[in-house]
Amino acid sequence: MTSPPLVDALVVAAGRGTRLKLADDSAPKQYLPLAGLPVLTWTLEALCACPDIHRVQVVIHADDHALYDEARMALSPDAAARLLPAVTGGDTRQASVRLGLEAMSSGRDDVRHVLIHDAARPFLPAEVVTRLVAALRAGDLAVLAALPVHDTLKRAGPDGFATGTVDRSGLWAAQTPQGFGLAEIVSAHRAALAAGETAFTDDTSLAEWAGLKVRLVEGAAETYKITTRADLDRARMDVDRFAATLNRNAPA
Ligand code: CTP
Ligand code: MG
């Protein structure tokens, strides 16, 4: 029996976290502690608890080597063994993803698919990864974890008054991970760079621009992104519950 083609993960952790600055000298959000471990450590443990994920490429900021080493040293041996050497990111998320993809794809003909994930989303359930990988293995080249929008959506004018209600039917909120054919997403990122398109905030938007069809699969409420102080407070409340699921799912 031949084994299925490999799936690697790319974790972008090169941002500065400007919306969540606790103090002028505080670390970027992906290195802040949750139950004593850096956010990035939780993110990497969650990905590495998924048997489908082979290697993990992390993209970091040039100023963060010491913080990254601390996060790496806190990993379980199994997770640490899957890390590729970290590479330096760019000024935008899009640039950081592209630089990570270029590093992880050179000379890796054995890897067919990649899941791209935000370091700032530490609570990733294994089922979401399973759904993404299943869609990729069934032939999709771009797959997005997303949640249906349940709130009523309003459009506001500059005066702060509602100008209308947006029909939410068929609307989904995009999360990460987002899964792709590795060669296809590398080509899409190169094409965006060549075309001067530098403002994509997620990779399925870039993939759509490049002509790939994006499949939606169900994400998870707990995979919210830590963006503000309130999100960090929420994550500090949620971490113990997530740690319990991680232990159950971790390989013996
Ligand atoms: N990211 C990155 N390189 C960048 C910008 C963002 O690798 N130049 C990463 C972040 O580290 C994060 C993810 O992309 O894990 C999502 O971005 P976001 O939540 O916007 O993080 P920051 O850009 O760090 O935060 P802010 O926008 O508040 O400055
Ligand atoms: Mg940002």
Q: Smallest Cα–Cα separation from 172: which of 150, 204, 195, 139?
A: 150
- How much is the pLDDT for 250? 42
96 lines ligand 1 (CB under 6 A): yes
- Cα–Cα distance, 54 to 82 (Å, whole number): 7
Q: Using most ligand atoms within 8 A of CB, pick from 118, 198, 201 the residue to mutate for ligand 1.
A: 118
- How much is the pLDDT for 23? 81
The ligand that comes nearest to the alpha carbon of residue 28 is 1
Low-confidence ranges of the chain (pLDDT < 70): 1-2, 248-252
- How much is the pLDDT for 110? 83
Contacts of 209 (CB under 8 A, 6+ apart): 188, 192, 197, 200
Helices in 85-149 by DSSP H: which ranges?
93-105, 126-137
The ligand that comes nearest to the alpha carbon of residue 30 is 1
The ligand that comes nearest to the alpha carbon of residue 92 is 1
- How much is the pLDDT for 1? 58
- How much is the pLDDT for 191? 98
- How much is the pLDDT for 24? 76
**pLDDT tens sequence across 16-74:** 999 998 887 889 999 999 999 999 999 999 999 999 999 999 999 999 999 999 999 99
Atom from ligand 1 closest to the CA of residue 59: 7
229 lines ligand 1 (CB under 6 A): no
- How much is the pLDDT for 25? 80
- How much is the pLDDT for 2? 66
The ligand that comes nearest to the alpha carbon of residue 202 is 1
What is the phi-psi region of residue 170: left when phi exceeds 0, alpha when psi lies from -120 to 50, beta otherwise? left
Rounded distance from Cα 225 to ligand 2 centre (Å): 11
- Take atom 13 of ligand 1 and give the residue whose Cα is closest: 118
Asked whether the whole model's pTM tops 0.85, one would answer yes
Rounded distance from Cα 14 to ligand 1 centre (Å): 6
- Take atom 10 of ligand 1 and give the residue whose Cα is closest: 15
- Cα–Cα distance, 114 to 104 (Å, whole number): 10
- How much is the pLDDT for 96? 98
Contacts of 237 (CB under 8 A, 6+ apart): none
- How much is the pLDDT for 206? 98
Rounded distance from Cα 252 to ligand 2 centre (Å): 36
